[in-house]
Amino acid sequence: MKFASIFRSHDIKPEWAFTAEGVLWRLMCAVGGKIVGEARDQERKSASFFCLDEQTGVPFWKDLRLEEPWWVGIEAVIGDTLLFHSYSKPDMPQHRGVRAFNVQTGGERWRNDDITFWFATTESLCGYRDFFEKRVAYELDLKSGDVLRSFEDAPRELLDLKSAAVENQDLENVVVPEPYDDTAASDEIRGLLAKALRGANPVGPIDVLRHRDCVAFSYYLKASRSQVDRPLFNCNLCVFRVPGGDRIFSEITNSGLALPVPDTFFLRGKRLLYIKDQRTLVSLRLWQS
């Protein structure tokens, strides 16, 4: 037996990876084990969208592009409906317009270029439109886009509708990391972080996630090619089994970054999903059941 096999016996390997057509800008979980993503190509000023099977990483569809190539983005995912927004004017943050697509097929269901998304329920969407002296709200059927009701004031019906608003994505079995707090961390977590760092000095925030028998850290170290007047950073991901502290995965997930970037990984069910090189979504299956 080779000595290397002893030390690597606990390692896990990525089960799938998907590389997008641009920097991964936004990821959202959808019903039925799907992951919807938004990628942005800064040089081409182009945004594209995709939907993956989270079990395999195989796209249900990908490279979806709208007529407006850049000033567009994901507004929400409600059930099996994906909602996009555009903007009232380029370079302005105010959203305007709603386009609804089928999450499963990527096909368009309806569009309304006049309203701005406010909130949604499982059956309907509430948007609004600003006029010169007033704001008018509208309730639309989520599947068809048909206007069901309009509200020029704020009646009880609108407040009741808002109380039934749902989360804009499927967050079941999703666990996100938390900022590491040394004063509140247990001795076990402190020890695992020290084991991950191996004496190195982290730069910027550290994220930690503990779930079942796994602890994962994401942290930044200064890159070897960093310069005094132009510092660069590498993002590291390290995963341990507890108790025992076996390191089961360790990788530099992003290198040569000008600034530390938050939100680099999360758990969804049995998988840890992380972003590598800003463009690739990678899945680690941590548990078989």
The pLDDT value recorded for residue 241 is: 97
More confident residue, 167 or 1: 167
More confident residue, 206 or 227: 206
User: What is the CATH code of the structural domain delimited by 15-163?
Assistant: 2.40.128.630
The pLDDT value recorded for residue 9 is: 46
Cβ neighbours for 41, distance < 8 A, ≥ 6 positions apart: 21, 22, 23, 47, 48
- Reply yes or no on whether the pLDDT at 181 is more than 70: yes
The pLDDT value recorded for residue 252 is: 96
Please provide residue 159's backbone torsions phi and psi, each rounded to the nearest 5 degrees: -65, -40
More confident residue, 87 or 49: 49
Distances (CA, A) of 47 to 2, 92, 138: 48, 17, 28
How remote is the C-alpha of 86 from its chain's centroid? Answer: 19
Task: Give the span between the Cα atoms of 247 and 10, in whole angstroms.
Answer: 7
Mean per-residue pLDDT for 143-151?
96
The pLDDT value recorded for residue 2 is: 45
Please give the model's pTM, rounded to 2 decimal places.
Answer: 0.92
Mean per-residue pLDDT for 49-61?
98
The pLDDT value recorded for residue 93 is: 80
* 7-21, 35-49, 166-180: the lowest-pLDDT one: 7-21
- Reply yes or no on whether the pLDDT at 162 is more than 70: yes
Q: Strand 214-222 relative to strand 207-211: parallel, antiparallel, unpaired?
A: antiparallel
Q: pLDDT tens for residues 241-269?
A: 999 999 999 999 999 998 888 788 999 99
Average pLDDT over the chain, rounded to whole?
A: 92
Task: Give the span between the Cα atoms of 152 and 166, in whole angstroms.
Answer: 23
Instruction: pLDDT band for 154, please (50, 70, 90 cuts).
Output: low
Task: Give the span between the Cα atoms of 121 and 127, in whole angstroms.
Answer: 12
Q: Which of 23, 28, 25, 29 is nearest to 43 (CA)?
A: 23
Q: pLDDT tens for residues 121-141?
A: 999 999 999 888 888 999 999
Cβ atoms of 254 and 276 within 8 Å: the answer is yes
The pLDDT value recorded for residue 5 is: 40
The domain segmentation of the chain, as residue ranges, is 15-163, 174-285
Q: pLDDT tens for residues 72-116?
A: 999 999 999 999 999 987 777 889 999 999 999 999 999 999 999
- Reply yes or no on whether the pLDDT at 6 is more than 70: no
